Amino acid sequence: MNFSIISSFIIGTILLVSLVKVNLSLVGNSMDAMYDQVAKIHVNSIATLVSHDFRKMGYGLTGGSLQEATPSRITFQGDLDDDGLVDMVSWEWDKTQHVTETSNPNDYVLLRIVNGKSTPIKMGVIRFELSYYDKLNQPTAIIEEVRGIRVRLLSESADPVGSKYMKASWEKKFVPLNIEN
């Protein structure tokens, strides 16, 4: 056999294997980016809904609007849709309800309850924390003293990329004008 044919075959094989490896790397990177973007979209969707509800806390109400305030649950009153009727709103991160539709073992159901109607949010929430602050911006557990609420949200992708889940987080402090109890 001719040496140049053998060397051409070897070089061609090396180039082909290199191209396959580059292609696999690009596919892996695009999967990372896609799952990362999905996690960010989920956090943004939840954040939009939480922000809408928390901004309406106490509107259309005289007297105390905050009914319950724990690290994983909040219940308050407010006119959510500006129809003149006061709505009862709860947000609860239920660590007893795993999301069964995903392969992620860390995500739990986030519940939004408006006037008794429960809406389960199954968007990879692995943390939903509520912290409460008084008028001097000091942490408080006394519901009558609460003037500010900090929400921390962490979401992961539904499926792992390799062995890791893509994460996205959101945090915001609300100081509703009509919260006074």
26-30 contacts at long range (C-beta below 8 A, 24 or more positions apart): 28/161, 28/162
Task: Supply angle C-alpha 59, 152, 86, rounded to 5.
Answer: 15
State pLDDT tens for residues 44-75.
999 999 999 999 998 888 777 899 999 999 99
Instruction: Kindly report the pTM of this predicted structure.
Output: 0.81
pLDDT at 109: 95
pLDDT tens digits, one per residue of 93-105: 988 888 988 889 9
pLDDT tens, position by position, 68-82: 999 999 999 999 988
Sign of CA dihedral 86, 92, 97, 101: positive
Burial 39-69 (b: 16+ CB within 10 A, else e): bbebbeebbeebeebbebbbbbbeeebbeeb
Domain ranges of the chain: 29-174
